Amino acid sequence: MHTQLNRRMTKQRHIIIEELRKVTSHPTADQLYEMVRKRLPRISLSTVYRNLETLSAEGMILRLDVAGAQKRFDATVENHYHIRCNHCGRVDDVHMEPINEIEEIARRRSKYQSVSHSIEFSGICPDCFGRG
Amino acid sequence: MHTQLNRRMTKQRHIIIEELRKVTSHPTADQLYEMVRKRLPRISLSTVYRNLETLSAEGMILRLDVAGAQKRFDATVENHYHIRCNHCGRVDDVHMEPINEIEEIARRRSKYQSVSHSIEFSGICPDCFGRG
DNA sequence: ATCAGTATTGCTAAGCGTTTGCAATTAGAT
DNA sequence: ATCTAATTGCAAACGCTTAGCAATACTGAT
């Protein structure tokens, strides 16, 4: 016996997932809304929000709580680091091994339990750097 | 010749700084507002917001852009890591050496310029763990 | 294939943290 | 003491996100 989710696959939900999987750009809810709207013009923004919420809650997609900015969403669930452009706000993946050892250090020093970590890099992206 | 700031030390600004220096708890704007209000009952919340903004812009204080949560403020400016309780939202310092080497790795892999990093730990704080 | 029941939708309005416009006040230089 | 721009308090606006609700449409059972 396990938790019954009773989820339905509506065309809205289906297309939201599909569109999110098409890109690697970590779109915000409203960016994804615009993408989905091309195929489903009558979808509402709250439907997009609600699905991103439920899908990330069940671990189907990843929600990036970017510091001091809009939430972003990612169809790639495996834990990885991100870098955010200080100029245009875009978020890219950084491919490197997760440094899990620091969690043990933090756990000892802080007395917290169940410690996890995330690293957010920031800088100037190639595009913004190019055009000064 | 250097940038002229033309800042004035109002009693509001003065007390905001003082109260922030009294604590190590990384208060949010409204928490600090309540603290300041005890000494300056007629201060407005926007004054607190405006001062926290200008003070952090000039580097007098540190603004913590906590992922997916309210901004928090810190009178300690030196770079250090934080840990956030997933249960009550409180934020504590984690005393450990900053791992600056990872910035070079991220710079090479991402092609971004002027890369900086921040690590946010999260977990369950001793208080929340104690009372289940 | 039809049905029933409830998860989900679209719409709108509300929520929350934060920022802004503006007239009144006040720090700080002369 | 006087001047002037920085700052304040208030209220209203803002941007992102969530919630209420009646209408719709999945899905599992018949």
For residues B70-82, give the mean pLDDT: 92
Same domain as B86, residue B58: no
* pLDDT at A94 > cutoff 70: yes
**Which pLDDT value is given to residue A1?**
39
- Contact (CB, 8 A) for A94 and A80: yes
Confidence of residue A2 (pLDDT cuts 50, 70, 90): very low
Closest nucleotide relative to residue B71's CA, C1' based: C17
Q: How far is the alpha carbon of B30 from chain A, nearest alpha carbon, in Å?
A: 16
Which of A53, A94, A101 should one mutate to test binding to chain B, selecting the residue with the greatest count of B CBs within 10 A?
A94
Closest nucleotide relative to residue A28's CA, C1' based: D16
Same domain as B92, residue B28: no
- Contact (CB, 8 A) for B99 and A102: yes
Q: In chain B, how many domains are there?
A: 2
Same domain as B70, residue B6: yes
Confidence of residue B132 (pLDDT cuts 50, 70, 90): low
Same domain as A111, residue A69: no
Which of B74, B103, B107, B121 should one mutate to test binding to chain A, selecting the residue with the greatest count of A CBs within 10 A?
B121
- Per residue in A5-22, pLDDT (tens digit) is 789 999 999 999 999 999
Query: CATH number of the domain that A62 lies in?
Result: 1.10.10.10
Confidence of residue B2 (pLDDT cuts 50, 70, 90): very low
Q: What is the 3-state secondary structure (H, E, C) of chain B?
A: CCCCCCCCCCHHHHHHHHHHHHCCCCCEHHHHHHHHHCCCCCCCHHHHHHHHHHHHHCCCCEEECCECCCCEEECCCCCCEEEEECCCCCEEEECCCCCCHHHHHHHHHHCCEEEEEEEEEEEECHHHHHCC
Sort out which chain A residues have CB atoms less than 8 A from B115's CB and list them.
83, 121-123
Domain limits for position A8: 1-77
Report CA dihedral (B33, B21, A70, A48) to the nearest 10 degrees: -50
Q: Does A123 touch chain B (CB under 8 A)?
A: yes
Among residues of chain B, what percentage have pLDDT more than 70?
Answer: 95
Supply A121's token pair.
């890099």
Same domain as B83, residue B30: no
* pLDDT at A4 > cutoff 80: no
**Which pLDDT value is given to residue A79?**
82
Same domain as B64, residue B32: yes
Task: Give the domain-ending residue among A77, A96, A111.
Answer: A77
Query: CATH number of the domain that A106 lies in?
Result: 3.30.1490.190
Q: Which of residues 44-103 of A touch B (CB under 8 A)?
A: 65-69, 71, 81, 83, 85-86, 92, 94-96, 99, 102-103
Residue matched to tokens 């452009």: A85
- Per residue in A71-92, pLDDT (tens digit) is 999 999 988 999 999 888 899 9
Same domain as B66, residue B13: yes
Same domain as A32, residue A16: yes
Same domain as B37, residue B70: yes
Same domain as B52, residue B109: no
* pLDDT at B35 > cutoff 90: yes
Task: Give the domain-ending residue among B33, B61, B76.
Answer: B76
Look at A123 and B115 and tell me if their CB atoms are within 8 Å.
yes
- Contact (CB, 8 A) for A101 and A89: no
For residues B107-112, give the mean pLDDT: 96
Residues whose C-beta lies under 7 Å from strand C:
A 6-8, 10, 12-13, 40, 42-47, 50-51, 54; B 8-11, 28-30, 45-46, 49-50, 53, 70-71
Same domain as B31, residue B66: yes
Q: Which bases of strand D sit closer than 7 A to a protein CB?
A: 5-12, 16-20, 25-27
**Which pLDDT value is given to residue B79?**
82
Report chain A's mean pLDDT, rounded to a whole number: 92
- Contact (CB, 8 A) for B119 and B66: no
Same domain as B104, residue B84: yes
**Phi-psi map region of B38: left, alpha, beta (phi>0 left; psi -120 to 50 alpha):** alpha
**Which pLDDT value is given to residue A130?**
74
* pLDDT at A65 > cutoff 70: yes
Report chain B's mean pLDDT, rounded to a whole number: 92
